[in-house]
Structure 1
Amino acid sequence: MGVAVMGWLSGKIVHLVGMHPAIETGLNAAGATQSPAGPSDIFVHIAPAPHFVPAHEQSHADWRQTLDAGLDQRFLQAKDYAKQCRDRGLGGVVLFVGAPEQAYGVDQAAAAGALGNLTKTLGVEWARDGIRVNCILTHRADETVGNLAAYLVSDYAAYVTGAVMGVDGND
């Protein structure tokens, strides 16, 4: 099924932060080239799933660690990417990927909920600079997620920004 997106991202350079094998496969199948440094057309941030700590056992350090990884670092890195796009006079694409809101406890729910609002706000604010911002919240690690990621960062989704897509269910 990767054939369906073959070539969508030919000539596009992706800066990928984090790991999600299905997304890497989807981006590669669509023709993207990955680059850990330097200018890129696409910025994809995949936050690691935090460990689950019940709310009544949550320390302030646990709370801050999850918000830092799930929200703060994403915003700061996306902001740097957007600046690079503006400095080059080019648009770009930001895609955040993470777990659904209630997947790993209260700290994850807070981070994912805030990420949804951040995605919507940046999608509107950065649209004037030609920078699209979208988000996938999912547990899945299959071809469907990889193809959705490839679509959202492709030119076929040129009018999609500020979208938060939940992808879950049984395979």
Structure 2
Amino acid sequence: MGDLDGKVAIVTGAGQGVGQGIALALAGAGASVAVLGRTESKLARTCELVRERGANAAPFGCDVTDLDAIPGLVADVVSAMGGVDILVNNAYSGLFGPLLSMKDNDFQRGFRSGPFATFAFMKACHPHLAERGGNIINLVTSAMVRWDPSNYGAYAAAKQAIRSLTRTAAAEWGPDGIRVNCIAPHALSPSLEAWAEARPAEAAEFRKTIPLRYVGDCEQDIGEAVAMLVGPQARYLTGATIPLDGGQADF
């Protein structure tokens, strides 16, 4: 028996990387997982891995920047899977670079896929989470508190908005039995892994800035922590930002 037996989780951006790691860890704890993302083949692979862990999974094609489609998508998940107990807002699509290099559309895309989409999913899931006593985990970043956020300004701004939204929802929705928390993960995603392989010397120096001296595993270090945060062990925790970065950032 797992801590999340009988629960249904929505995980956005679950086709790879951190989203996939979270989906697999939730499945390992017993949850059924609605696997959301843009690439059909990646969603199918995550669903296959979830089922190997003995949990139910279903893929749902989703571009989180299509805000008008989100309420209907949540309704489809509820119809197919019987409800929603856990929402993980992981998907993000934005650019990095100096502020003056950022086109308006690129900057706005980060907000559409970040706080706008996060809020749309939170609002659509609220009645279902309130009915069952649910959890929301929103992903943010240590770039919000970097001593030098150069090249991360648009990303950090979008994520800081999500952090504020999380804190407000925790205060307003606590009486509804909904807990809302953020994590700021540092994990070996496919893009980071490719960079480390292409630039091993830089990657080695980067790891030295992490007190635990390694970049987190998407499932074991990030996903398992999320499974704990949405489980009964953390039932009194809400409105918090949890750094899952090996001690690198100062929150």
Amino acid at match of 2:143: E
Q: Are positions 1:95 and 2:127 aligned together?
A: no
Structure 1 runs (4+) greater than 4 angstroms displaced: none
Equivalent pair of 1:100/1:112 in contact (CA under 8 Å): no
Partner of 2:235: 158
Question: Which among 138, 158, 170 is matched to residue 123 of structure 1?
Answer: 170
TM-score, normalised to structure 1, is: 0.86
Select the structure of larger CA radius of gyration.
2
Q: Distance in 2 between matches of 1:109 and 1:157?
A: 27
Aligned residues: 164
Structure 1: runs of 5+ lacking an equivalent:
1-5
- Larger relative contact order, structure 1 or 2 (CA cutoff 8 Å, min sep 6): 1
Q: Quick one: which amino acid aligns to residue 18 of structure 1? A: G
Query: Secondary structure at the residue paired with 2:9?
Result: strand
Query: What is the CA–CA distance in structure 2 between the aligned matches of 1:148 and 1:99, rounded to whole Å?
Result: 16
Matches within 5 A, 1:47-58: 47-48=91-92, 50-58=94-102
Aligned to 2:111: 67
Tell me how large the CA RMSD over aligned residues is: 2.1
* 1:23 Cα offset (Å): 1.0
Q: Distance in 2 between matches of 1:77 and 1:49?
A: 16
Matched-pair contact (CA < 8 Å) for 1:42–1:153: yes
In structure 2, how many angstroms separate the alpha carbons of the residues matched to 1:133 and 1:167? 16
Structure 1 or 2: larger helix share? 2
Q: Comparing both structures, which one devotes a greater share of its residues to strand?
A: 1
Cα gap change, 1:156 to 1:169, in 2 (>3 Å):
closer
Aligned 8 A contact 1:18 1:46 in 2: yes
Aligned-pair distance for 1:27? 0.8
Q: Deviations over 1:105-162 (max 9, x none)?
A: 1111111111111111111110000011111112214111111100111122111111
